[in-house]
Amino acid sequence: MKTLITLATALLMTLPASAADAHRIEPPNWWVGMRDTSLQLMIHGAGIADAKPQLAPYPGVTLKASHRATSTNYLFVDLEVSPRARPGELAISIGGTTLRYPLLARAPGSAERQGFGPEDAIYLVVPDRFSQGAQLGQAGMKEGMNRADPSGRHGGDLAGMTQHLDYIADLGFTQVWPTPLVENNSDKYSYHGYAATDFYKIDPRFGTNADFGAFVTQARARGVGIIQDVVLNHIGSGHWWMKDLPAPDWVNEWPQYTETHHARMTLQDPYAAPSDRRRFTDGWFVPTMPDLNQRRPELATYLMQMTLWWIERYGLSGIRTDTYSYSDRDFLTRWSARVMQEYPNLNVVGEEWSPHPAVVAYWQRGKKNHDGYVSHTPSLMDFPMQANLLAALLENDGPHTGLTKLYEGLAHDFVYPDPAQLVLFDGNHDTPRLFSLLQRDVGLTKIALAYIATTRRIPQVFYGSELLMQSPTERDDGRVRADMPGGWVGDTTSAFTGEGLTPAQRDMQDWTRRLFNWRKGERVIHDGALMQYAPLDGVYVFFRYDAKRTVMVVLNKTDKAVTLPLARFSERIAPGQRARDVLGTTTQTLGSSLSVPARSPLILTLER
């Protein structure tokens, strides 16, 4: 196979200075053997729109059509790459010049790759704030590093994340979700990654595309998969398209600037005004994030192919989709179908930030919706249950408050086609830190993480939760996304070596390690059934079980040790059974009652 060089370089080599100077083609390469044989190339260059491309004979590949949009500087070329095509290099002639386009072989087993699922535990990282492993240049980038600014770039990079993969794996996590790594060349607030200026390029302040490939490879060697964060709804105002849009309707335009009102329920509301629905999906997030119009066919195809390119090129185990429902919903049907067509075992998780299970369930694969809408996305972020978990631990208990919200929240699983595929999280880059929200109560924090790890969900933990990292309790993105201790030269406290950690931090880190390493090997937690008992007197009990094994989970949020009568749970346990505390060292024979420490979770494996 020929070595793949960047297309920009290839085009500069093949086009004379007086020619149409096509300087960009996306996707930059493709593969033979994809299930969908269609491929649309977007070629950008001065005056190229009316050129008539010709494809040199290549077995199994056909040039079907080409067309322009509005701009004179874009040409869209439709190819068919049939199953009999072999790896090599296409030669496409445009205006007397020849463009070389690589067709690569897929990695063995690529189509059958296994995505993340309930057997996994996800560790969410904000790359700029995790660790600086290299001194990367800032040339050509609008925003430099300023670690003193909570909203500035702090210099974390791919090298830093790669150096600390052992730390993540040692904690028991099997997947890493980094917030977006693609180029965000903006004047400020560029560190978060959600305002892409180039969909196919790793931001140079994080490293190179090759560095990303090495990161994925090193993670896989440790049994850790990588979930790519993909933004379909919007771009950054510095995106290269904005200097020369392919068509005026490439982004959603209004007579005057109009922000989305975030009224997500307009999409399901049978009484919603059409203008409200339009403002939700077509309104911009902020003036610096143009809202993409996925009703434009070429853009829809572009976003589908871009997603597939990252999965195939770098061997990803899943996709997290930002601001999921803000995109055009018919496009989301086609996009999710295309991803799952190519990778039937992959997982995709969408962000639908709603407290209502019915709204979240609307977007999950297999849901029979009232309006006939069909989705192919397997997973959603479980915002309703995350809110219930916080309320359960902070509110006084009553018929409709406190632990009852956790119990009733889980009881709403009947609205989901596959509740086990939902991702339940302690917090993320947009929410205050768990430890702070729980009023810096270590016991409640352990209860929350124990629940996330043992209930019928895919668990996700925000970096630093294992260190009791804190933030303001109101939204403050820069401080929520604080630097991981020990990630920078000169840090006096280090999560990675333990230097400078308080006894409480060391205890929490060790406890988290034991919890998730135990979970990693516990099949009954991955795919067993669940039975829960209504909370009583500040204690909530549920069981995970299958034909061979039972795990009992007791959450005592009271400030006193509890003697728990066991007769109530006779459907799942019997006197005389042996029970092992999975996070401690004790084994006991069950009698008529069980002692549960104050402000603590107790997780027992029961022998038959």
Task: Catalogue the active-site residues.
Answer: 322, 351
Tokens 């346990």 — which residue? 573
| 585 CB burial (10 A radius; 0-12, 13-18, 19+) | exposed
What is the side-by-side order of every strand in the sheet holding 175-178? 379-380, 347-350, 318-322, 225-231, 175-178, 122-125, 458-462, 423-425
**Best CA proximity match to 434, nearest among 410, 411, 450:** 450
Residues with Cβ within 8 Å of residue 214, at least 6 apart in sequence: 158, 162
Residues with Cβ within 8 Å of residue 236, at least 6 apart in sequence: 184, 185, 186, 190, 195, 196, 197, 288, 289, 290
142 touches 152 (CB < 8 A): no
What's the distance, CA 390 to chain centroid?
A: 22
Q: Is 115 helix (H, G, I), strand (E, B) or coil?
A: coil
5 touches 12 (CB < 8 A): no
Cis bond before residue 27 (omega within 30° of 0): yes
| Interstrand relation of 38-45 and 74-81 (parallel, antiparallel or unpaired) | antiparallel
Q: Is 384 helix (H, G, I), strand (E, B) or coil?
A: helix
Q: How far apart are CA 460 and CA 288, in angstroms?
A: 30
